[in-house]
Homo-oligomer: A and B are copies of this chain.
Amino acid sequence: MKKIQEYTQLIEESLTAQNFNHQPSELYEPISYILSLGGKRLRPALCLAATDLFGGEVKKAIKPALAIEIFHNFSLVHDDIMDAAPLRRGMATVHKKWDDNIAILSGDAMLVKAYQYVAQVSPEILPRVLELFSQTAIEVCEGQQYDLNFESLDDVKEEDYLKMIKLKTSVLLGCALKLGAFIANASEEDAQAIYDFGLNIGIAFQIQDDILDAFGESDKFGKLSGGDILNDKKTILMIYAQSHSHEIGKWFGDKKEAEEKIEAVKKLFVECGAKAYAEKRMHDYYDKAIINLNSISVKSEMQQELADFAKYLILRDV
C-alpha cells in the first residue's frame, strides 16, 4: 500500500496548498477548519489510485480528487448538524464551534466548491464526470435521509440498512474510483468494475465502522465509543440483535446509565452472535470487492495495492 499512502500524502499537501480564506470569514473559516481536521483522505486517494491503475496522469486527477474530499466534508458538516454531534475527529463540529446557520451555509458553499473542483477535468469527459458526480451527490442525500428515517423506526430490515449505507457511504467511494478511471480514459466496463469494487468495499468499510463504534477504542477513533448503542442506532449489529436476542429491547430509550448500557449491549451483541454476523457480512462484501478488482482488464501493481488497501479497511481498528 505504499503508493496509496503516497497518494493520501499528496492529497494532504494539495489540500493544504488550496486557499479557502476569502471574505466573509464566517463563511470560509469553517471550510478551512473542517478540511484541516484530517481524516484518512481515503476517497481522494482512491481517485488518484484509479487513475494510476488505468495508466492515466495522476496529476490530472488531483483537483477532481479534492472535489470528492470537499464533498465528503460538506456532507459531514451538514450531517453533524442533523445528528447534533458535538465532536468530529476529536474536535468540535462546525455547528458547535460556530452555530447551525454558519454550518448550513458553509456546507452549501463547500458543495459548490466541490463542483468548482470537479469541473476542472478536461472538457471531453466533463459531461460524464458531472453526471456521475451529481448522481452520487443525490444518492448521498438519499442515504442520509434514510438514516434519519431509521431513527424513528423500531424495526429496520437488514436489506434497508444495507441500501442506506450503500447510498450514504459506498457510492462516494465508487464515484471516486470511477472518476479516476474516467480521467485515465478507461473503458466503460473497467470504469464500472472499479466502481463496483468501491461500492462493495464501501459497504464493508461501513460495517467495520459500525463494529468499531461499538467495539473500537474511543481515543483512537476520535469520537465517543458506544455512541451508536447509546442512541439506539439501527446498525447491522442492532438489527441482527433485535431478531436474535430477547433482552436487547429493554435497553432502548435508556440514556441514564450510559456506561452500563453500552457494556450490556456490547455483551449481548457478542452473545447473540451479532458481532460475528457483522464480521461475516463485512468479509462477504470484501470478497465481492476482490472479484470486481480481479475482473478489470488491465494488469498493474496498483491492483495489488488496492487489494491490500481493501484488506486494510476491514482489518483497521480506527
Instruction: Tell me the A residues contacting B by CB distance below 8 Å.
Output: 22-24, 26-27, 78, 81-82, 100-102, 104-105, 107-109, 111-113, 115-116, 119, 123, 126-127, 130-131, 134, 137-138, 141-142, 144-146, 148-149
Chain B residues lying within 8 Å of A27, measured Cβ to Cβ, are 141-142, 145
Q: Is the CB of B113 within 8 A of A119?
A: no
A141 and B101 form a contact (CB under 8 A) = no
Q: For residue A101, which residues in chain B have a CB less than 8 angstroms away from its CB?
A: 81-82, 148
Within 8 Å CB of A78, what residues of B? 104-105, 108
Among B82, B105, B131, B137, the residue within 8 A (CB) of A82 is: B105
Interface centre among A24, A134, A141, A144 (most CB of B within 10 A): A141
* Minimum C-beta distance from A63 to chain B (A): 13
Knowing that A100-B100, A105-B144 touch, tell me 17 more A-B residue pairs with CB under 8 angstroms. Answer: A24-B142, A24-B145, A26-B149, A81-B100, A81-B104, A82-B101, A82-B105, A111-B111, A111-B112, A112-B134, A115-B137, A116-B134, A116-B138, A119-B127, A119-B130, A123-B127, A126-B126
Q: Which residues of B contact A111 (CB under 8 A)?
A: 108, 111-112
Please name 8 pairs of A and B residues whose Cβ atoms are closer than 8 Å in the assembled complex, sorted by A.
A24-B142, A26-B149, A78-B105, A82-B104, A105-B148, A119-B134, A126-B126, A126-B127
Which residues of B sit under 8 angstroms from A127, Cβ to Cβ?
Answer: 119, 123, 126
- For A145, give its contact among B105, B123, B141, B149 (CB under 8 Å): B105
Per the bound structure, the CA–CA distance linking A149 and B28 in Å amounts to 13
Interchain nearest-CB distance for A178 vs B (Å): 17
User: Which residues on the B side are within 8 Å of A142 (C-beta)?
Assistant: 22-24, 27, 109
Contact A112 B126 (CB under 8 A): no
Q: How far is the CA of A279 from the CA of B108 in the complex (A)?
A: 34
B141 contacts A109, CB within 8 Å?
Answer: yes
Residue among A22, A102, A113, A119 with the highest chain B CB neighbour number at 10 A: A119
Residue of B nearest to A151 (CB): B101
- What are the residues of chain B within 8 A of A81 when measuring CB–CB? 100-101, 104
